[in-house]
Copies of this chain bind each other. A is one copy, B any other.
Amino acid sequence: MRVTVEQASLARALSQTTRVVAPQNTLPVLSGVELTAQGQSLHLYATDLTTALEADVPAEVSEPGHIVLPAGTLTDLIQRLPTALVDIAAETSAQAVIRYGRNQATIHGFAEDRLPEFAHLPRNAAVAVTIPGHVLAEVARQVLFACARDEARPILKGVAMELGEGRLVFAATDGSRLSQVWYAVPDHLEAPRQWVWPAKAVTEASRLTAGLDTVTLWMSPHVVQLETAGFRLTSRLLEGQYPEYQRVIPQQYVAECRVELSALRGAVERVNLIAQKDRSASLRIVHEPGMLELGTVSQDIGHAREVVECQSTGQPLDLLFNPHFIADVLKSLSSAEIVVEFAGTQSPARFREVGGSTYQHILLPLRQLV
C-alpha cells in the first residue's frame, strides 16, 4: 500500500473515525483503524463491533492495499504533522512508514490486516427518513441522559426511535424518568415502527450531523445507518421489546407552574449543593399558589430552602425528587420560561419548554413511606 493524502483531511477523518474505538478491547485489533488505499481514496474504518465509522479521504494511490494501525498513535501523529501532504507506505501488515517532508515515523501494524467485517445494510430493503441536521444533536442533549446506565434491563440503555403516522419520536427512559422529543415527518403516514439505537450511536450521529441542513437515516430491522460528507456511521440496533412508555405520561394534571428557567436552575443548584453531597438526601418541591419552594435536609451537611416565584394554577402539593434527576432535566431545557406540571403526589411530573418545542420530560417523584 502507498498513498499520498492531505494532512488536514486525514487528521479530520481520523479524529472522527477513531472515536468509535473502545478504550479497552478483548480483541486487540479492535483498537486499530483499518486503512484501505483503492481507486482515488484512502478508506478508514473503525468499529467496536456495535458501531462502525467509515470515512473516505481523497488520495493519490500509487499502490493499492490495506493495513490496520493503532488508532490512537496514528491519530495523534497525523494531527501533529507540520506538512500539507503525508505519504503512507506499507509493504506488509507489519508496519507503515509515515513520511512528511524530509522526516518520517514508522508505526507497527497489527498482524491482522483487516478489522472484523461489520453488518451490512441493504438499502433497497431499508426504511429511509430525511430529517433536519439539528435533530440528532437535540436528541443527544434532551433524550440521551434519560437512558438507563445499568444492565438490569439492557433495552433501556438505548434510545427508542419511532417512525409513522406523520411523526418521528425519540424517547429514553430508565424506569423512573422519561425524555421524549418528536418531529413532524408528513411523508411517513404508515403505521409506526420502532428501532432502538445504542447510546453511543446517538452520540456519534449527533457529532457527524451538527451543522448539516438535512441527513437521511436508513433503518433495517437490525441496523441503522447514516451518511454525511465523507463519513458513514453504521450501528447495530438493540434487540428486545422497548416498554410502552406512552402509558406512563399523565393525561391530566392537578397543578401547572410557569417559571423562569434561570431562577429555578440557580435555586436547584444551591439546594443541590447540600442534597447531592448526601446519598440519602432528596430534593423537596412544594407548590403553593404563585411559588415553588425547594428544600433539602441532610443529617450530615445541613439544610437549605429557597423560594422561586411562578405563575401557577391548581392545587398545593408537596413532593420529593431525586436531586440529580431534577438537575438533569433543567439542563435539558433551554427556553427562558418552562412549565412544570404535577399530576399528584404519587404521579409523575412533567417538565416542558414554553413555545413551539415538542420536547417533554416525565419524572416520577420519590415514594414516601410516611
Q: Which residues of A contact B (CB under 8 A)?
A: 70, 73, 76-77, 80-82, 95, 102-108, 266-267, 269-271, 273-274, 277, 300-307
Q: Which residues on B sit within 8 Å (CB–CB) of A302? A: 73, 95, 105-108
**Top 5 closest A-B pairs, CB basis?**
A105-B304, A107-B302, A103-B306, A106-B302, A106-B303
Asked whether, in the complex, the Cβ of B108 is within 8 Å of the Cβ of A305, the reply is no
User: Of all chain B residues, which has the CB nearest A308?
Assistant: B103
- A301 and B102 in contact, given A73-B273, A266-B80, A273-B77 (Cβ under 8 angstroms): no
Asked whether, in the complex, the Cβ of A301 is within 8 Å of the Cβ of B103, the reply is no
> What's the minimum C-beta distance from A281 to chain B, rounded to whole angstroms?
13
Contact pick for A270, options B81, B267, B273, CB 8 Å: B81
Asked whether, in the complex, the Cβ of A304 is within 8 Å of the Cβ of B104, the reply is yes
Q: Which residues on B sit within 8 Å (CB–CB) of A104? A: 304-305
Question: Could you list some 10 contacts between A and B, CB below 8 A?
Answer: A76-B273, A77-B270, A77-B273, A77-B274, A103-B307, A104-B305, A105-B271, A105-B273, A105-B303, A106-B303
A301 to B266, CA, bound (A): 50
A307 to B266, CA, bound (A): 55
User: Of all chain B residues, which has the CB nearest A294?
Assistant: B103
User: Of all chain B residues, which has the CB nearest A76?
Assistant: B273
> What's the minimum C-beta distance from A168 to chain B, rounded to whole angstroms?
38
Q: Which residues on B sit within 8 Å (CB–CB) of A266? A: 80, 82
| Residue among A77, A266, A270, A303 with most chain B CB within 10 A | A270
- A105 and B305 in contact, given A76-B273, A270-B81 (Cβ under 8 angstroms): yes
Q: Which residues on B sit within 8 Å (CB–CB) of A106? A: 302-304
Asked whether, in the complex, the Cβ of A108 is within 8 Å of the Cβ of B300, the reply is yes
Asked whether, in the complex, the Cβ of B270 is within 8 Å of the Cβ of A301, the reply is no
Asked whether, in the complex, the Cβ of A80 is within 8 Å of the Cβ of B269, the reply is yes
User: Of all chain B residues, which has the CB nearest A293?
Assistant: B103
Q: Which residues on B sit within 8 Å (CB–CB) of A304? A: 103-106
> What's the minimum C-beta distance from A184 to chain B, rounded to whole angstroms?
39
Q: Which residues on B sit within 8 Å (CB–CB) of A70? A: 301
> What's the minimum C-beta distance from A91 to chain B, rounded to whole angstroms?
14
> What's the minimum C-beta distance from A172 to chain B, rounded to whole angstroms?
29
Q: Which residues on B sit within 8 Å (CB–CB) of A269? A: 80
Contact pick for A274, options B73, B103, B307, CB 8 Å: B73
> What's the minimum C-beta distance from A76 to chain B, rounded to whole angstroms?
5
10 further interface pairs, Cβ-Cβ under 8 Å (given A70-B301, A108-B302): A73-B301, A80-B269, A80-B270, A102-B307, A103-B304, A103-B305, A103-B306, A105-B274, A105-B304, A108-B301
Q: Which residues on B sit within 8 Å (CB–CB) of A82? A: 266
A301 to B98, CA, bound (A): 13
A73 to B77, CA, bound (A): 43
> What's the minimum C-beta distance from A364 to chain B, rounded to whole angstroms?
27
A132 to B98, CA, bound (A): 48
> What's the minimum C-beta distance from A323 to chain B, rounded to whole angstroms?
14
Asked whether, in the complex, the Cβ of B80 is within 8 Å of the Cβ of A273, the reply is yes
A305 to B77, CA, bound (A): 13
Asked whether, in the complex, the Cβ of A103 is within 8 Å of the Cβ of B267, the reply is yes
